[in-house]
Amino acid sequence: MTVRMKLALTVFVTGALAALGVAVAMLFAFERFEQESTYRRADAFLGRVTGMYDDLRGQQASDPAGFDAKLRRLVLFEPATQLYLLDGAGTMLASSLEGGSARGRVDLGPVMRAVGQARPPYVMGDDPQRPGTTSVIAARPLGRPGAPAAGYLYLVAGDGRGPAGGSELLARALAQPALVAAIGVVALATLLAAWIIAAVTRPLQRLSAAVSAVTRDGLEAPPAAGDALGALPRASHDEFGMLAEGFSTMLPRLRAQWEALRRLDHFRREGVSNLSHDLRSPLTATTACLETLQARWADDAARLDDARLVEVALRNTHNAARLLQSLGELAQLDEPEFKLRTEAIDACELLDDIALRFAARAGAQGVQLQTEAPSAAPVVEIDVALFERAVANLVDNALKFSRDGDRITLAAEQRDAAVAVSVSDTGSGIEPDEVPRLFDRYHQARRSVAPATGEGGRGLGLAIVKRIAELHGGTVEVVSRLGAGTRVTILLRAG
């Protein structure tokens, strides 16, 4: 849900709740007002009746039927109102009810409150016509003032609403034009709020569109015509306006800095690549000279020391040549323009070729090198030369960290929509805390067991593997146990 929707919904819900609260409060106030005014009218009416007629008890005793009729006449114009004559204990002696005298008693508690000194705003008492319910009542004592009451004239004010009462009143109140007006005001306020919210949050919306564009296209993409930020109102000086303006000022700077970084990075890669290329010939020449010397002094006992020195120089020259080659390769692979030349190939065939290439070295080390082929050979879409380089790096590592009697297995298997190409060894294994940093460039596990070959590593082999896997849209994972061995797996999409 957008911020606009949330704010508009908040305004609407708040307005609707406020309108409902006001309606309920009005309903209660109205009901109370009606009860109070009914009570006052009833009390005043009883005052007039008791003022007009003396000895109501006597009149009833002498002519009960005539008295009932008299009571009916008194309330002729208030059909919902009933009059009762009670004795001092609350027993009904006569009533205005149609069809004869009333029977039973009414609760004297409310009667006492109605005739007492401290009169409440209104009194609710028994309604003999509807047993079990209460209505607004009024009462007047009969007899001489100062003497105990000889009886009471008791009036039950009907509300004329029938038994439905409160709920019917509510339904009626809901239909009131006042409530319709309240709903109208809430709707209008919501619309107005939505319009204001839309106006206030417009810069925010444009800003969010601009941020999404940068997230989607990156900083390299040139600002498109009609860029979302171009339309940001410069004049708006609220927080949103300032935020949008800040972003639109920051974006060109970020683009410029990004461009400078890209150029620098390109120069660096180009420099490394050229250096690697230019140093290759002198190093090859040096190696050739050193190899000639080594061959010349191999059987010369007098030149034993010199032969050792040449051997060290040759080893270092080899290392330097390989370092240069790795650096050159990485620089090439990092180029954004680097393109793969892919073809579909049987992964197991590729592994067999690589195993063959390393067979002699494995044999010399006493390491068993094998490939594991599933019945249905997985086909992968890869740049063969590049991928061979990646797997060769893994086999090189496995051989470096294996000893006589260890085993190295190259395997390829289908895993759902992916093909897993793995190189496992039973060599020295890697410390668990080293594993996350293995793919960092120039990282070599400090506590790893000395390489079997005695050759110094450069810490670039796995970085190259990772880059090659990335270029193929794949990933690399390492599982290793110190002293038990290592498995490095390249996961590729199946071809």
Ligand X SMILES: Nc1ncnc2c1ncn2[C@@H]1O[C@H](COP(=O)(O)OP(=O)(O)OP(=O)(O)O)[C@@H](O)[C@H]1O
The entry of ligand X, Mg ion, none that residue 96 binds, CB within 5 to 8 Å by partner kind: none
Q: Tell me the closest approach of the beta carbon of residue 464 to Mg ion, in angstroms.
A: 9
Q: Tell me the C-alpha distance between 37 and 23, whole Å.
A: 21
Q: Tell me the C-alpha distance between 136 and 186, whole Å.
A: 36
Convert residues 446-485 into a mask of x (bound to Mg ion by CB under 5 A) and - (unbound): ---------------x------------------------
The entry of ligand X, Mg ion, none that residue 123 binds, CB within 5 to 8 Å by partner kind: none
**Binder to ligand X among 448, 479, 482, 494 (CB under 6 A)?**
448
DSSP state of 149: P
Nearer to ligand X, 197 or 452 (CB): 452
- Single-letter amino acid code for the residue at 493: R
Per CB under 6 A, 457 contacts ligand X: yes
Per CB under 6 A, 391 contacts ligand X: no
Give the number of other CB atoms < 10 A from CB of residue 362: 20
**Binder to Mg ion among 397, 422, 428, 480 (CB under 5 A)?**
397
**Binder to ligand X among 88, 223, 459, 495 (CB under 6 A)?**
459
Q: Applying CB under 6 A, what is the total number of residues that bind ligand X?
A: 22
Q: Tell me the C-alpha distance between 404 and 426, whole Å.
A: 11
Per CB under 6 A, 401 contacts ligand X: yes
Question: Which one, of 333, 392, 308, 328, lies nearest residue 357 by Cα?
Answer: 392
Tokens 């690399």 appear where? 476
**Binder to ligand X among 151, 158, 328, 427 (CB under 6 A)?**
427
Give the number of other CB atoms < 10 A from CB of residue 382: 27
Q: Tell me the C-alpha distance between 421 and 384, whole Å.
A: 13
Take residue 227 and report the two structure tokens written for it.
């860029």
Q: Tell me the closest approach of the beta carbon of residue 225 to ligand X, in angstroms.
A: 46
DSSP state of 352: H
Q: Tell me the C-alpha distance between 91 and 152, whole Å.
A: 10
Q: Please, are residues 322 and 458 in contact by the beta-carbon 8 Å criterion? A: yes
Per CB under 6 A, 127 contacts ligand X: no
Nearer to ligand X, 422 or 428 (CB): 428
Q: Tell me the closest approach of the beta carbon of residue 388 to ligand X, in angstroms.
A: 15
Q: Please, are residues 420 and 412 in contact by the beta-carbon 8 Å criterion? A: yes
- Single-letter amino acid code for the residue at 74: L
- Estimate to the nearest angstrom the gap between the alpha carbon of 59 and the chain centroid: 83
Per CB under 6 A, 422 contacts ligand X: no
Take residue 40 and report the two structure tokens written for it.
């006052």
**Binder to ligand X among 19, 139, 347, 430 (CB under 6 A)?**
430
Nearer to ligand X, 310 or 462 (CB): 462
Q: Tell me the closest approach of the beta carbon of residue 357 to Mg ion, in angstroms.
A: 16
- Residues in contact with ligand X by CB under 6 A are 326, 393, 397-398, 401, 425, 427-428, 430, 438, 443-445, 448, 457-463, 486
